[in-house]
Structure 1
Amino acid sequence: MSYLTSPSLHQQVFSLDHGAWIERLATTDNLLIIQDLDGVCMGLVKDPLARVIDLDYVEATQRFDGHFYVLTNGEHTGKRGVNGIIERALGGEQQAQSGGYYLPGLAAGGVQWQTRDGQIFHPGVSEAELAFLAAVPQKMGEHLRQFLRRRLRDGDESELEQAIQATVLDNIASPTANLNTFHNLLGHQREVYADLQYAMQTLMEDLLRDAAHQGLKGSFFVHYAPNHGRGPDGKEILWFGEGDESGTTDFQFMLRGAIKEAGVLALLNRYYADRTGDYPLGSDFSVRQAPHSHGELLELVIQNFDPALMPTLVGVGDTVTSVVLMEDGQPVAKRGGSDRNFLHLIQAIGQQFDTGNLVTYVDSSGGELKNRRAIKLEDRDGTTVVTAGPGDPRDGDDPLVLNVVFPGGYQQYCQAFQAAAARRN
């Protein structure tokens, strides 16, 4: 098969061989690219409304039609959705729809499906759940106002209100409080910013209790991004940044089951159906029906997907964290990041099915946000090599292997992606 052009790329760590990566994407017939968005094909910015996307990149995704899907915790729709960014770049909704410019795939962690022409569906989501979610943004805004009245009595009211408007993301399926703007405003007041993180965490817990009282117990969960992995209770661990680091900035109230690793199965299910007419997991399968553990997800793939038809998967993300802390005198690695688990699952599927899957990492530390550790490069005898990845250098046994890295950020990644698209039949 054509992917053997670079037989060992999937066995490499921190490879900078972008030529081999381009070759793999350009020449592999049975290929499925699963890609995150923010920080990968767009720069990370404090205000999500300021995001822009390169139309050359969007057009390149069309060359991979049927072989490319997005998988994001953001959303397609809404004033802060990716669709609006594309429409503004093109000059209107009609141009985006008629030209098939919308990015196909899963948003809101996997519960919002979109086709290339912009049709939106929420598989497995009830009207009662959507109604509860619709009221969350207003509660987030009021919670922020109450906090600011207590802690910043002398603040400029118009400036703070503007910050609140930039912070509350009124997504349909994953309403979010994004604290990037407040980190910028409160950067010199570390204690106040940390208290704000605590306040948003408290609100998330209150919302979960409110949902339970309305008969929606178990319908939702909270996603923190970036995070320090999950604790023994399965809940994600809030990250309080140090120094200039912002730590956890996104507090997302999400539908239960909306985890990216489950989205990998949903996309594989559709990919097989497009080629065979049959859905290995059933035509009504959604992420909300999937198990949550890495082992159970992998076993579901092994049991249901024909190995002879398994594509080479290329996972692309930018949010992978780890930090080593001392607990009871022993070093303990806390691993997280919203892209970690879906990339790890893609890696494991490749190992199980021997398909040469590639884990691709885009360094987004050069953006406006201070919550990413930059890849470190060094020149050795005229050759540039990676000396440290995005994780804690003391974390020596991280099971996730980043095969190919783009230290030049989303610009470098998009250039390589477009080069692969230009060569693909």
Structure 2
Amino acid sequence: MTPLSPIPLHQQSLSLDHQTLTQVLVQTPNLLIIQDLDGVCMGLVKDPLQRQISLDYVRAASLLDGHFYVLTNGEHIGTRGVNGIIERAIGDPNLVATQGLYLPGLAGGGVQWQNRQGQVYHPGVTDAELEFLAIVPRALRARLQRFCQTHQDILSPKDIEKCIDASVLDNQASPTANLNSFYDRLHNHHQVYADLQQDIHQLMMDLLEKARAQGLEDSFFVHYAPNLGRDAQGTEILRPARLGDSGTTDFQFMIRGAIKEAGVLALLNRYYFQRTGSYPLGADFHVRQCPQAIADLLELVKANFDPQQMPLIVGVGDTVNSQFQQVDGKLEIRRGGSDRNFLLLIQEIGKAFHTGNIIIYVDSSQGEVKNRQPLTLGTNEDGILEVVAGPGDPLDTEDPLTLNVAFPQGHLQYIDFFQKVAQGRSN
């Protein structure tokens, strides 16, 4: 294969040159792929229990052993974890473990580590924190039931039971309210859905206060997906529902420090150990020891990681957005998305170490969840297909994050590419 463009991929924006991308990833020995899960290798669905995963993708991931890690706000374990999806697809949990087909990497935003054999632990998390997290799903279920009781005129008993079962995610390290099923039932009752969104937001604030009262004041935070970035205090900003847009649907009660960008350092620390036999940040390093700001994380990398061993890092995500809002009569840009910051850190590491790191964007707007801005395609003057509008606000011309390569057809297109890379490297 020969490159289709003389411009390096890390200098391009929303390129569709998958051929060159495949060539680069196959031919680069020192490679580290860090990939999100939902919307990237699995389609987005209203009920997380209905997620499915391609066995071809799972087996391809095992071929990339040592060069591929997942980084997700979801979880490996539990009734809603990805491990169960893989086990159901293969039909034999023992076979998954013996063949090393579990997806290695960090879940729960970075506090749940797993290897390919499915061995899981929570570095840096205390028993008291896990015990408090265990009460959150019950609190979510009770609040949703209370809300539904006041809206039985538009929600049948069957609807209520089904929506609540789909919405309460009893994750061990990141219990979550996922409102996609409720939005599906209530999208024609905008104000009711908006009220539900605010009610769950208030519950999250109540739970944070309850944790403080129990001496866990620095233990937790709330992750909103999608969101509108963070405020001056570093708190994520809820994306309010609008007509035709569900806004924030996932309310994740998470362990403080469990942010994806910190997970990049934890994974890079492990990757260096594989190559060199030593951990630049120490064998016991975990995400809760990280600073929060991207600039500070970058300085930590620059101060501790040998430039001669720095890999080409490829970041893969699907949740990146930006939106202008009226604030006190002025337009202000809000940049958010669960994947934004970890992708931005990978980009900045590439600039600092001159490794040409590549950011891949998978368009997940074609799934059941309709809160993603789809890519707009068109043909240029030479009749070649290209992306003419990205996932952000078209007025946002100064976004610091550049999405280098796009997969406009979603996770199935990405999976096909991923298999080619894995097979090419194994050959």
Normalising TM by the smaller chain, what interval? over 0.9
Instruction: Show the counterpart of 2:408.
Output: 407
| TM-score, structure 1 as length reference | 0.97
Offset of residue 159 of structure 1: 2.2
Deviations 1:69-116 (A, max 9, x none): 000000000111000000000002111111111000000000000000
Instruction: Show the counterpart of 2:229.
Output: 229
Name the SS for the 1:237 alignment partner.
strand
Greater alpha carbon shift after TM alignment, 156-165 vs 181-190: 156-165
Offset of residue 376 of structure 1: 0.4
Instruction: Show the counterpart of 2:389.
Output: 388
Instruction: Show the counterpart of 1:304.
Output: 304
Instruction: Show the counterpart of 2:368.
Output: 368
CA distance in 2, matches of 1:188, 1:195: 13
Structure 1 segment 124-139 matched on structure 2, within 5 A: 124-139=124-139
Instruction: Show the counterpart of 2:56.
Output: 56
Instruction: Show the counterpart of 2:152.
Output: 152
Offset of residue 7 of structure 1: 6.4
Name the SS for the 1:314 alignment partner.
strand
CA distance in 2, matches of 1:331, 1:308: 44
CA distance in 2, matches of 1:162, 1:325: 35
Offset of residue 243 of structure 1: 2.4
* Residue 199, structure 1, aligned to residue 199, structure 2: yes
Deviations 1:218-239 (A, max 9, x none): 1000000000001122111111
5+ residue gaps, structure 2, are none
Offset of residue 240 of structure 1: 1.6
* Residue 271, structure 1, aligned to residue 294, structure 2: no
Offset of residue 162 of structure 1: 1.6
CA distance in 1, matches of 2:334, 2:233: 14
CA distance in 1, matches of 2:307, 2:65: 22
Name the SS for the 1:110 alignment partner.
coil
| TM-score, structure 2 as length reference | 0.97
Offset of residue 45 of structure 1: 0.3
Instruction: Show the counterpart of 1:120.
Output: 120
CA distance in 2, matches of 1:251, 1:242: 17
Q: What amino acid maps onto 1:342 in structure 2?
A: F
Name the SS for the 2:367 alignment partner.
coil
Judging changes above 3 Å, is the alpha-carbon distance between structure 1 residues 309 and 7 closer, same or farther for their aligned structure 2 residues?
farther
Deviations 1:16-63 (A, max 9, x none): 000011111111100000000000000000000110000001111111
* Residue 101, structure 1, aligned to residue 101, structure 2: yes
CA distance in 2, matches of 1:336, 1:24: 29
CA distance in 1, matches of 2:113, 2:186: 36
Name the SS for the 1:342 alignment partner.
helix
CA distance in 2, matches of 1:405, 1:277: 35
Offset of residue 6 of structure 1: 7.2
Instruction: Show the counterpart of 2:185.
Output: 185
Judging changes above 3 Å, is the alpha-carbon distance between structure 1 residues 166 and 422 closer, same or farther for their aligned structure 2 residues?
same
* Residue 320, structure 1, aligned to residue 320, structure 2: yes
CA distance in 2, matches of 1:330, 1:154: 38
Instruction: Show the counterpart of 2:286.
Output: 286
Report if the CA contact (8 A) 1:110-1:287 is conserved: yes
Instruction: Show the counterpart of 1:212.
Output: 212
Name the SS for the 2:319 alignment partner.
coil
Q: What amino acid maps onto 1:27 in structure 2?
A: Q
Greater alpha carbon shift after TM alignment, 270-279 vs 337-346: 270-279
Judging changes above 3 Å, is the alpha-carbon distance between structure 1 residues 154 and 386 closer, same or farther for their aligned structure 2 residues?
closer
| Count of residues in Structure 1 that have an aligned counterpart in Structure 2 | 423
CA distance in 2, matches of 1:251, 1:137: 12
Instruction: Show the counterpart of 1:239.
Output: 239
Judging changes above 3 Å, is the alpha-carbon distance between structure 1 residues 154 and 345 closer, same or farther for their aligned structure 2 residues?
closer
CA distance in 2, matches of 1:175, 1:153: 29
Offset of residue 329 of structure 1: 4.1
Greater alpha carbon shift after TM alignment, 320-329 vs 98-107: 320-329
* Residue 70, structure 1, aligned to residue 70, structure 2: yes
Offset of residue 404 of structure 1: 0.4
Q: What amino acid maps onto 1:258 in structure 2?
A: A
Report if the CA contact (8 A) 1:231-1:237 is conserved: yes
Q: What amino acid maps onto 2:392 in structure 1?
A: G
Offset of residue 326 of structure 1: 3.0
Runs of 4+ in 1 over 6 A off after TM superposition: none
Instruction: Show the counterpart of 1:397.
Output: 398
CA distance in 2, matches of 1:242, 1:208: 26
Offset of residue 152 of structure 1: 3.1
Offset of residue 217 of structure 1: 0.8
Report if the CA contact (8 A) 1:320-1:390 is conserved: yes
Name the SS for the 1:392 alignment partner.
coil
Greater alpha carbon shift after TM alignment, 7-16 vs 185-194: 7-16
Offset of residue 332 of structure 1: 1.4
Instruction: Show the counterpart of 2:88.
Output: 88
Structure 1 segment 157-168 matched on structure 2, within 5 A: 157-168=157-168
State the percentage of identical aligned residues.
60
Q: What amino acid maps onto 2:405 in structure 1?
A: V
Structure 1 segment 353-364 matched on structure 2, within 5 A: 353-364=353-364
Offset of residue 201 of structure 1: 0.5
CA distance in 2, matches of 1:325, 1:201: 20
Judging changes above 3 Å, is the alpha-carbon distance between structure 1 residues 6 and 267 closer, same or farther for their aligned structure 2 residues?
farther
Deviations 1:188-246 (A, max 9, x none): 00000000010000000000011111111110000000000011221111112322211
Deviations 1:300-358 (A, max 9, x none): 00000000100000000000010012334432110000000000000000000000100
Q: What amino acid maps onto 2:411 in structure 1?
A: Y
5+ residue gaps, structure 1, are none
Report if the CA contact (8 A) 1:320-1:336 is conserved: yes
CA distance in 2, matches of 1:247, 1:115: 34
CA distance in 2, matches of 1:99, 1:292: 37
Name the SS for the 1:215 alignment partner.
coil
Alignment RMSD (CA, Å): 1.4
